[in-house]
Structure 1
Amino acid sequence: MASAHDRAVLQAIFNPTSPSGDVPGLNQEEELIDDDSGFEVGLLQQVKDLEMEGVTAAEAGDLPTALERFSQAIDTLPQRASGYNNRAQTRRLQEDTEGALEDLERAIALSGGVGRTACQALVQRGLLLRLACQDDKAREDFERAAVLGSEFARQQVVVLNPYAALCNRMLTEVINKLRNPEVSETQ
């Protein structure tokens, strides 16, 4: 089992836009886990080793090797969600948004929308949807990830709330008028 520090490092690598310390599950009483009980133990260990090799390659900036290791993990256990999520992160870093979205869709479907992998995949898909200006769909993913425990997703739900945005804009105007009354009088 990886330590909290290890999870934070991996989170920073694969989710560079998330705030520090936003490791899914750490903000909950019970940590999110993925159910790997249905897989043969030897194959599961082989896949986890391939995924760690992929993470190591990604940390070193060798994205082609990382992509290859994650693809090998998927080929070995195609019904395990984690490999698709990891490969999606690598594809995103390689600016293959379409491929990343396909892998995230598969990770979410295989995970049943629960567990650590689902939470991470929902956040990543939400970010990609937000970049594509699909804020309603992004908000849906962030809401689902927030329920699973992602603090970053909770923050994004607030940011994408149109009422909150309106209130923030109005509050900013009021504060600016209070800080600079002479500027607001001349306008």
Structure 2
Amino acid sequence: MSGLENLSEGDLETLKIIFDPTAVIGEVVDREDKFQDDEPEPSTPEYLESKSLRLFGARAAEQGKLEEALEEMNKAVAAAPELPDAYNDRAQVLRLMLKDDDPATTILVGCTNGPCRTVKYLDHTEDRREGKAIPRTV
């Protein structure tokens, strides 16, 4: 028993390519993964408005106008709240503004468990905003 009988056809082809010195590259069968196509982009008026607002927001962010970009992304979320794209784009703007962890800070401040942990987190946040290197602690 050689152990090859349990291998798939693709596995056998791979082994042949690796170990057969006479195999020609042209003989290699391209067995690309077959992924299902993404869903078509929605064409609802709400989606199109949200997309337009996101584009305005992205342009503003590229120009360094982050407050304006955030306003546009908030409008995009309001235009189509069921679609994740605007939320993702708004999150990117918040990251650029270094405000992506503000809600977490608010939650941690109200937490009575582990106040030392909260202080460390807040110190980390301030260091990050000031561009300081943050030592890794375990």
Sort the TM-score into its range (normalised by shorter chain).
0.3 to 0.5
The structure number with the bigger radius of gyration is 2
Higher percent of residues as helix: 1
